Chain A
């Protein structure tokens, strides 16, 4: 009995996925549970496992293909089994997009490309040429301008590239600085980049943001961090861990910041799940029940997995509050965009030595700027100011962070 291998739908938001690389070849024997391929969803890279055993008879889409969720991408069957009915089904399915996406490796090394042109990729991995539908005028215009029709987004009926689409592509090319040759390179967006783009628009446009900034003296927190390191605590505690712990304490008191604006009601969440922003946002769950060391330990494991993009969906979704720290990148202070449906996000700048007046005398202190971005539908400025004061207190008198 032949087994259909389809692009799995791994989350509600997933409409398509990318086959990054096949790990098996046509003709390979596969056992149930074997990794067939690496696939990229809008959130992470995952292994696609075989649901049954047999011979991998047919691979229907090449590496780097973007495929709608649910589409047949391979067939596992007995070596002599007739799989033509299944292949006929594949013939009717929409063809995978030929645009290769950026490889998701930790250090991407994009090859130089012409403006919006297909990369001169390795022929062996190049997807098969796709017949591009275009109006005669669009075809001529693209040819005259040296544009690859396959790289132009079609808006005409049945995916026909029309004049306006070519003009759009030309305008995009023109918008790039003229001096550089090539003017720019158009790289297809990774699934993660697409998701970020979509989410940020969903946030910044409809959510009325406001920002409140305060400066926190980190002398004692840094001293405590050093002392913990000297005592060889079971795990290295970072400033981020301490801020997460401080946030958990503060959010327990200021529950209105651990909330979501939903239609006509505001939902106040019972658990505090803090997302720590990077390219992908690992979520430390139930922070209200965790001590500093436990937070530090969980954070370290999550960050390591995030780096290799091996997080499970429940490890990067469901945050109730987010933290974005750019301190290590020499940033004084900044404001972050809220990730809906969260009500706020805290942006952290670097800890820097600054001259401050302490007890009537100028002293050098290590301090840190924080800015909270809030959904004004949920909280107001005064509350945000009080929230920052409380957070500041927790970090300036950090003993409390060690209490259970």
Chain B
């Protein structure tokens, strides 16, 4: 048997092992879902005749046989809430947030690797393909160190739950017992797959074997995503419980408990959020390496890496507000009161911070792109228009962060002479705010289009017509978005809500049609000069760091909002929080806590980066192989 054939065989076996690992938890769970929970109850029912107790599902409204104990009614004391001389909730907040940061990072990075490795496989330019491959390898190397930290933090989180909130965790694990075991098995599968994927990299870098390797990344990501979905089911249950009766007794249907009202929107929102966050972290890593680089080659490599990571992160940032909109709509559909607490009640000011953060993210992205124009010959022609984009972005931002309906005390209401501020309130109307954010996103799309054609001149025969068409299209889009924002003032609130649809449609049209048209126009375009990777200003790298920090901060903020909307319930309307901390902190305290979490995460991840750099130093030959010498070629992504 030849060497190549043996390698092939081993690779296929490894892939089969991964698929087997993926299926393992499902196979293990079959007995429990087929008969597991309901069967004993049914048997017991037969034995005890009429003593069967039935309950009604609080969400699905179906009847089921009660198989679980009611949610415990806790009391403030060492039995239900043992504690140190510190607020237990803050300790849990810290442990949870750190685990989530690392968890998101290690789930997002393999998705990047998959995308980048795929780009490497399909790219015809061999040098570029090698660079993509090296980049994907660098990414997975970073995530490997972070992976073990994620597991450690997960352990700390469970111990924190067990020691500080035993009654609550006991109840949650009694309901999710099979899910938690499947979760643990999935984690084993994830680890196994990740190690095979990482250590098999060099052995499977050519031809058919590369495709097998790529397939492994798909399996790895499926496992990772399922892992996250299972974890999401716990928080979904805490926010919008299902599968239990009014007393919190489990009714035997595990799918109902998992598939709660908010599970799917949470899943989608979290995948996108993780990707944007992962992009931010990798971009920050590249920025750090860029700023610390001593050679031109290193600067070129990390400039390119930062750009790719930023572009991937932003690609997932753009649909994130729409996923958030869906989640919020489902929250309103589930409990209107919950939606009002979020958007117009106790937590409304936090959404003002969120709006500011979104503004900061888009401003940073645009700033980076404008700086990036500086490393292209021929892009000078766009520089003079940047001031107009700044004007549009700032106007959109100011309108977007203006509050409209806030919870007020009667005294405040009287002082303001109405529910809204007499002048500013007008800018905060929903259609105007939608107008603001859509102007921001459309301007970002425009910046991207400029960046993509920075050093190129279209050679298609209809380029003049194409340019005019694009200009008119963008102008009409701005007019339409702004006109609808103004029109919203003249129609009642319930009709006004509907204006968001044409506004969003306009923005998405710009995104898809203009990117596609630009792509067609720039096919075979004349290059004014190569992109001079590494020649970007140091300021641009701070924009990337800003992006990463803002992503991290926003993730902490939104997680806090999502969790605190339950107010004084461990499990909404089922299990009350009777600890001394069953109140909602002030905005200021939350902001301080989020900052602390963000900084702790970054200090620790910088340590991880540093560890990664130690490993790189030990294998200089291998690592250098993929780094391009001389002037790097432009990446195929633009």
Check if A and B associate. Answer: no
Which A residues lie at the B interface, using CB under 8 A? none
B binding-site residues for A, Cβ under 8 Å: none
